[in-house]
Structure 1
Amino acid sequence: TGRSDVMSPGCQLDGRARHECLDQAVELETGDVGSLHDVIVPYGYHGAETDPAEEAARNLDWESFLASHPPRHRTAILVLVAGGTMREAGQRCGLKDSAALNLKRRISADLVAFFGEDVIRRLLDGVKPGWESDLRTARERHLGLVPSGVGNPVETKR
């Protein structure tokens, strides 16, 4: 690494690399004003897609959660994930309504114990992790491209 790494300050001081803010305004070939991010972003990307590594880790966690439970629990969980009701899950497992309700409570407690209350709360509230939403701005601030306390470096008008 050292001075050969384009992200290192030494490489930047030597003038061998220059970092540009992806939200910096640029003139596109069509004459419109856009940002560097618009130039390099894949066609059809809207920013809501998850990171493939994050998705794989989430699937591994989910698979290990399912594997740690008996078949009746797994059946009920898969029915619920597919959009079914707890009554349908109970019927699939051969349970009456009261037993299905108890199963639902056990699964709920197991989810909180396995993933943690804060993760479950964030999922229910639809909140993205703080590290994800602030990662790019923090990196640009570190490089001196964004003044401290500013969320979006440059806003472009369309």
Structure 2
Amino acid sequence: MGSKKFTFGLFTVYVFVLVWLVLFKLQFSLDYIERVRVINLIPFHQSLFSEVYSNIRIFIPLGIYICMLKSEWAFSKKVSAIVGFTLSFEIIQFVLAIGRSDLTDILANTLGGVIGIGIYQLIFKLLKHRTNIFINLFSLCVTSFVMYFIIFIFKRPI
């Protein structure tokens, strides 16, 4: 399997987990999700630091994967993709009334993606052509751990 296909496979798993985390709030049924339709356009209004920090962390891989899959894109195009991706989550939450659409989330998620771009560039400076192999191996370990956590800790089928 080619490196790009392997990266895309890991990215696909990441997106599924991200959707489950962001939209479904780690639930296996929509019945358990709070049905609200709220938009907060005031940045950091009633936001807990832990939520902002968590959003930043979970979107770091998005920036890394975009660099791996679309290395030819300019920085601004990568950031635009991150903004579009995170904005789509907020729109879906509002339309389906499955969460609060929040400008803080968009800012934090985008910052996480930009940090991911920076991490990728730093690793690239250190490892050059071995960067994607290193990140794929690291991502495989993290993805395996996350899948183990989902399957054995929650003890529910995927």
- TM-score interval, normalised by the smaller of the two chains: under 0.3
Structure that is richer in helix per residue:
2
TM-score of the aligned structures, taking structure 1 as reference length: 0.27
Relative contact order, higher structure (CA 8 A, sep 6+): 2
Q: Which has the larger radius of gyration?
A: 1
